[in-house]
Amino acid sequence: MNGKASSQSAHRVVIVGAGFGGLNAAEKLASAPVQITIIDRENYHTFQPLLYQVATAGLSPGEIAAPIRSILSRHPNVEVLMAEVTGFDLDRRVVKTSEQEIPYDSLIVAAGARHAYFGHDEWEPLAPGLKTIEDALEIRRRVLLAFELAERRAAAGEGDDPLNFVVVGGGPTGVELAGTLAEICRHSLAGDFHSIDPRRARIHLLEGGEHVLPAYPEDLSRSALEQLRRLGVDVNTSAMVTKIEPGVIYIGNARMNAAVIIWAAGVAASPLGKTLGVAVDRAGRVLVEPDLSIPGQPEVFVIGDLAALKDASGKLLPGVAPVAIQEGRFVAKVIRTELDKNTERDGNSASQPRPAPRAAFHYHDKGSLATIGRAAAIAQFGKIHISGFMAWLAWLFVHILFLIGFRNRLLVFIQWAWSYFTYERGARLITGGTDLPGWDTAQSRVPGPKQAKEEISAVVEK
Amino acid sequence: MNGKASSQSAHRVVIVGAGFGGLNAAEKLASAPVQITIIDRENYHTFQPLLYQVATAGLSPGEIAAPIRSILSRHPNVEVLMAEVTGFDLDRRVVKTSEQEIPYDSLIVAAGARHAYFGHDEWEPLAPGLKTIEDALEIRRRVLLAFELAERRAAAGEGDDPLNFVVVGGGPTGVELAGTLAEICRHSLAGDFHSIDPRRARIHLLEGGEHVLPAYPEDLSRSALEQLRRLGVDVNTSAMVTKIEPGVIYIGNARMNAAVIIWAAGVAASPLGKTLGVAVDRAGRVLVEPDLSIPGQPEVFVIGDLAALKDASGKLLPGVAPVAIQEGRFVAKVIRTELDKNTERDGNSASQPRPAPRAAFHYHDKGSLATIGRAAAIAQFGKIHISGFMAWLAWLFVHILFLIGFRNRLLVFIQWAWSYFTYERGARLITGGTDLPGWDTAQSRVPGPKQAKEEISAVVEK
C-alpha cells in the first residue's frame, strides 16, 4: 500500500503529451510507486484557453506557458523527455521516438489535436490556425504587420482602403479571436496611426453552420451573435469557404480581399491515434472503451482531444480542458487502484494490472464558458444561462484560477487589469519576418479591396 | 516662438532608428513646430540593456520592448513608419526606403550597430550575437535546447558528459551573459533534470585582452573577475578565437567542444553610416563634427552607436544608452534653437536652419554600471567605485527606472523580485525549432567532450 518500489521493479507509466490530460495524469500518479516518463515535443505546457490572447498581443508567450520540468520537478519519479513520438509497438510495450524506445507497463496517450483543413492543407500557409504558441506568434505577426503595411501604403499615397480581417469558423476560438480583433482595431490601435484609421478595419467571422458557438443552447448562441455585432464584428453564418488564395478568400462564389485570414474551422486528432491500430472516427479520434483504454489493450489509455467517447446522452464529449483533466485523473486512478490490488495480492508492484472489470469514465460537467471580447461572454452552468459582463467575469475568474503557476497567474491578472482600463496591449511585437501572403511587401501593395466591394456586400448581407 | 506651423510648411525632420537616440530626439522635438517621421525596421523599441535577460529566459520579449507607435502616440506631429531604409540622397534631401522616398529638412541618423565577426561572417550561424529581440530568442532557444538534448542523450544511455557553454567576449554583454548562464545552471535548472546534472555544466568566458570589462578601472575589472569566478564562470583572458565549427571552438590551437557558443566580441556600426559619403572609422562609425552633424551637411546628424565622437580626453564615447540619449536630446535642441531663430527673423519656420556656429556636444557621464549576475555587479560614479551587492542594487534601480513605460516597469520588477527569491525563470520556452549546430538532433549525439578534455584544461589553466 505505502510500499515504495525500487526504481528497477517500479511499474513504468509512459505519458505521451503534456497538455491538460497528460499533466493531470502525471500529477495524480506521481505519489504512487510508479516510474513515470512524460514525453512532449515542446519543453513547455501551453495554457490553450488563453492562446488567443497571445495571438492578439495581449499576453506574452511566457505568461501562458510553463516549462513541463518546472511543473513536475517536485516529483523525483517523474521524468520529462522533450522528444517526438513516432509510434508504438503495443506487443513489445514500447513507445518509439526518433532516438530511442521507451518501455512501459501502462501507456497514456494524450497527444491532442491540430487544426484541420478538410483536405485543403494548401490553405495552411495562407490561413494559419491557432493550436500552439508558434501558431499564436504567427497570427500576431500577421495582424500587426497588416496595419504597418497599410500605413506604409497610405503614407506613400497609394490609398487607404480599410483592411479586412477574416476569421473562418464560429466556434469558441473563432469567436474570441474575432471579438478581440475588433477591440484592437477600435481601441488599442485607434490612435497610433496617422495615414490610416484602424477603426475602419472590418472583422469578418465566417461560420459554415447556422449559428456561432453551435455547441451552446440557442439563446446563448443568439446572445453571442448580438455581442459580436455590438463589438463591431461582421458575422456571416451559412458561409462556406470554397477557395483561399494569397490575400483573397472565396465564400461560395463571392470573392473577398483579406489582409489576414485566420483558420478556426476545424480540428483533427493527432496522427498518433491512427498508429495504435484500433478504430478511429472521421476526425482521427480513437474510439475508446468506457474506461478510456483501447479495445484489447487494457494497459493502453487514450485521453483528451485524441479520444472519442460519448456521454450518457450519446453526445461526443467536447475537446475542452475540463474533459481532458478529468480523463487524466480518472486513468491515473484506474492504474493506482489496480497496482494497489496487485501489491496486496503478491507484494510485487511491477506485475501487470490484472484485467478486471473497471468503472466507466463519467464526465462531470461543471459548466462551460466562452469569451467573446471585452466584458462580453456567455456561460452555461446546468440550466443557468448567463450573458455579457457577468459571464465575462466568471470566465476571467475561472481562467485566472486555473492558469498554472502562481507567478503567471499574478502577472496575467496585472496585465488584464491594466489593459481593461487602458485598452493597451503589452505584447505588440512583430517578430519572425515581414512577409505577408497576398501583400507585395516590397511594394506594400495589396489587391485593392475596392474592386471586390460588391462581392463583400453580397456576402455580408446574405 | 510659439508659432504652430501648418503641416504643409512645417520643418520636416526624419529620424532613422527608434533606439534610445532616435526616440529621445523625437520626444524632445515633438513639441516644436516640426513634422517628424521616425523610421525603424521593427515596430518596437528594444530596451537593449535587458536583452540578456530575454536571452537567458528571465524576461519575455514583451517585457523589454514597447511598440514605437504607443510610445509616441500622444504627439500628433510624429509619424512612425516601419520600413527598411536603404540609403540617402543628401543633395535632394530624401531618405530612401525600399518603397518610397521621404523628404527632410533635418535628418537624424540613429541606426545603431550590430555585432561583428571581424571578417568571419561564416561564424554567425554557429555563434549568434545579441543585439535584437530575435537574437535573444535564438540564444534562449539554443541554451534551453542544449539541456534538453543532453538529457535525451543521457536518458538513452549515451553518456552524460557535462555541457560547455562558451561566451566569446568579456565586455558588458559577455560578462552578464556568462554570469547569468552560471546562475541558471547552478540554480534555476538544477532540480529539473533526472539524467543530467545541470550544475556540472561549465561556462567559459573568453576574452581576447588581458582584462574583462576593460573599459572600467582596473580595480573594478579585477573585482568583476572575482565575482565571475565566484559565480562559477571559467574566465579565460588573452584567449583568441581562431576557428569555429559546429559544436567546436578553437582558442589558439586548442580545441574545445561547445554545446552553445555565443558571440559578444565586437560590434560594427550599421552599414547605413557608409552610405552618407563621409569618413567612417574601422568599425564603420561616422566621424561626426563636434555638433554631431556630418562634415559639409549641417542639416544631417548622426547619433548613438553609429557616431564616433571623442570626449575632451581624446577617448571615444562608449556605445551605451546614456550617450545616445544625451546626443538625441542635444541634436533636438540644436534643431529647435535654429528654427526659433529663423522664425523670429522671417516668420517662416520651413526655411533652412541658418548654418551658424553651434555649441559642441559634451557627454555628461553620470557613472557606469555593469551587471555580472545575481547580486553581482560593478559600478563607477566618478571616483566612487562599488562592487557586489550594492552595485547590483544600484544597477537594478537604474534599469527599472529607465525601462520605458510604467506597465513594463512594474511587471519587470515583479518578475525580478519573484526570481530573486525563487531562482525561477519565467520565460523558459524553446520556440523556433529544434536544430542545434554541432548536434545530430535526430541522434541527440554531440562530439563527446571527453576527447577534448586535455585541450580544455590547457586553455582554462593558461
Q: Is A313 on the interface with B (CB under 8 A)?
A: no
Name every chain B residue with its beta carbon within 8 A of the beta carbon of A99: 152, 156, 442-444
Q: What is the pLDDT of residues B99-156, one digit of tens each?
A: 889 999 999 999 999 989 988 999 999 999 999 999 999 999 999 999 999 999 998 8
pLDDT on residue B407: 58
β-bridge mates for residue B347, sequence order: none
Q: Which grid cell is B280?
A: 567612417
Q: Is B151 on the interface with A (CB under 8 A)?
A: yes
Q: Is B61 on the interface with A (CB under 8 A)?
A: yes
Q: State the catalytic residues of A.
A: 176
Prediction pTM value: 0.87
Burial of A7 (0-12, 13-18, 19+ CB in 10 A): exposed
Determine whether the interchain pair A73/B191 forms a contact, defined as Cβ–Cβ distance below 8 Å.
yes
End-to-end CA distance of chain B: 66
Distance from CA of B131 to the nearest CA of A (A): 14
Strand order in the sheet with B101-103: B85-89, B94-97, B101-103
Q: Is A451 on the interface with B (CB under 8 A)?
A: no
Q: Which residue has better confidence, B272 or A64? A: B272
Q: Which grid cell is B407?
A: 506597465
pLDDT on residue B455: 36
Q: Which grid cell is A58?
A: 495581449
CB pairs under 8 A between A and B: 149
Determine whether the interchain pair A430/B62 forms a contact, defined as Cβ–Cβ distance below 8 Å.
no
Angle between helices B321-346 and B20-29 (to 10 degrees): 30
Distance from CA of B9 to the nearest CA of A (A): 18
Give the residue on B whose Cα is nearest the Cα of A191.
B73
Name every chain B residue with its beta carbon within 8 A of the beta carbon of A73: 191-192
SS3 A387: strand
**Reported ipTM exceeds the 0.90 cut:** no
* Cα–Cα distance, A352 to B30 (Å, whole number): 75
- Residue A65 per-residue DSSP state: E
Task: For residue B30, give every residue at least 6 positions away whose Cβ sits within 8 Å of its Cβ, in sequence order, or none.
Answer: B36, B72, B75, B77, B78
Q: Which of A12, A36, A39, A43 to mutate to test the interface with B (most CBs of B within 10 A)?
A: A43
Q: What is the pLDDT of residues B345-365, one digit of tens each?
A: 665 545 555 556 899 999 999
Distance from CA of B432 to the nearest CA of A (A): 8
Determine whether the interchain pair B155/A79 forms a contact, defined as Cβ–Cβ distance below 8 Å.
yes
Name every chain A residue with its beta carbon within 8 A of the beta carbon of B81: 151-152, 155
pLDDT on residue B454: 36
Residue B153 near residue B446, CB atoms below 8 Å: yes
Q: Which residue has better confidence, A346 or B327? A: B327
Q: What is the pLDDT of residues B32-70, one digit of tens each?
A: 999 999 999 999 999 998 899 999 988 888 888 888 998
Q: What is the pLDDT of residues A39-73, one digit of tens each?
A: 999 999 999 988 999 999 888 888 888 889 988 98
Residue A21: name the closest of A329, A402, A301 by CA: A329
Q: State the catalytic residues of B.
A: 176
Residue A17 near residue A109, CB atoms below 8 Å: yes
Distance from CA of B302 to the nearest CA of A (A): 25
Residue B64, CA atoms < 13 Å, CB-side half-sphere = 28
Q: How confident is the model at residue B158 (pLDDT cuts 50, 70, 90)?
A: confident
DSSP string of A264-311, one letter each residue: -S-EEE-GGGGGG-S-B-TTS-EE--TTSEETTEEEEEE-GGGEE-B-
Name every chain A residue with its beta carbon within 8 A of the beta carbon of B98: 442
The A residues from 192 to 221 touching B (CB cutoff 8 Å) are 192-195
Q: Is A272 on the interface with B (CB under 8 A)?
A: no
Average pLDDT over residues A231-256: 95
Average pLDDT over residues B428-449: 62
Q: Is A415 on the interface with B (CB under 8 A)?
A: yes
Determine whether the interchain pair B133/A191 forms a contact, defined as Cβ–Cβ distance below 8 Å.
no
Name every chain B residue with its beta carbon within 8 A of the beta carbon of A148: 43, 82
Instruction: Please give the helix or strand (H or E) that residue A89 lies within, else none.
Output: strand A85-89
Which of A79, A83, A408 lies nearest to residue B194, judging by beta carbons? A79
Q: Which residue has better confidence, A398 or B351? A: A398
- Residue A104 per-residue DSSP state: -
Neighbours of A158 (CB within 10 A): 17
Q: What is the pLDDT of residues A399-439, one digit of tens each?
A: 877 776 655 666 676 776 676 767 667 678 887 777 887 77
* Cα–Cα distance, A5 to A343 (Å, whole number): 10
Q: What is the pLDDT of residues A154-171, one digit of tens each?
A: 988 888 889 999 999 999
Q: Is A70 on the interface with B (CB under 8 A)?
A: yes
Q: What is the pLDDT of residues B171-182, one digit of tens each?
A: 999 999 999 999
CB contact burial A59-86 (16+ within 10 A = b; e otherwise):
bbbbbbbbbbbbbbbeeebbbbbbbebe
Q: Which grid cell is A244?
A: 483561399
Q: What is the pLDDT of residues B2-35, one digit of tens each?
A: 334 344 579 999 999 999 999 999 999 999 999 9
Q: Is the pLDDT reported for residue A315 higher than 70?
A: yes
Residue A459 near residue A236, CB atoms below 8 Å: yes
Name every chain A residue with its beta carbon within 8 A of the beta carbon of B76: 194
* Cα–Cα distance, B429 to A163 (Å, whole number): 33
Q: What is the pLDDT of residues B293-344, one digit of tens each?
A: 999 999 999 999 999 999 888 899 999 999 999 999 999 999 999 998 877 7
Determine whether the interchain pair A61/B408 forms a contact, defined as Cβ–Cβ distance below 8 Å.
no
Angle between helices B406-422 and B389-402 (to 10 degrees): 150
Q: Which grid cell is A21?
A: 490530460
pLDDT on residue A160: 86
Give the residue on A whose Cα is nearest the Cα of B422.
A407
End-to-end CA distance of chain A: 66
The residue whose grid cell reads 459571464 is A391
Reported residue count of chain A is: 462
Q: How confident is the model at residue A260 (pLDDT cuts 50, 70, 90)?
A: very high
Q: Which grid cell is B450?
A: 571527453
Determine whether the interchain pair A133/B418 forms a contact, defined as Cβ–Cβ distance below 8 Å.
no
Q: Which of B46, B192, B404 to mutate to test the interface with A (most CBs of A within 10 A)?
A: B192
Which of B63, B156, B193 lies nearest to residue A100, judging by beta carbons? B156
The residue whose grid cell reads 567612417 is B280
Q: Is A424 on the interface with B (CB under 8 A)?
A: yes
Q: What is the pLDDT of residues B188-226, one digit of tens each?
A: 888 899 999 999 999 999 999 999 999 999 999 999 999
- Residue B168 per-residue DSSP state: E
Which of A61, A155, A189 lies nearest to residue B431, judging by beta carbons? A61
Determine whether the interchain pair B61/A152 forms a contact, defined as Cβ–Cβ distance below 8 Å.
no
Instruction: Please give the helix or strand (H or E) that residue B64 lies within, else none.
Output: helix B61-64
pLDDT on residue B300: 98
Name every chain B residue with its beta carbon within 8 A of the beta carbon of A408: 426
pLDDT on residue B43: 93
DSSP string of B189-237, one letter each residue: TTTS-SSS-GGG-EEEEE-SSSSSSTTS-HHHHHHHHHHHHHTTEEEE-
pLDDT on residue A404: 62
Q: Which grid cell is B11?
A: 520643418
Q: Is A159 on the interface with B (CB under 8 A)?
A: no
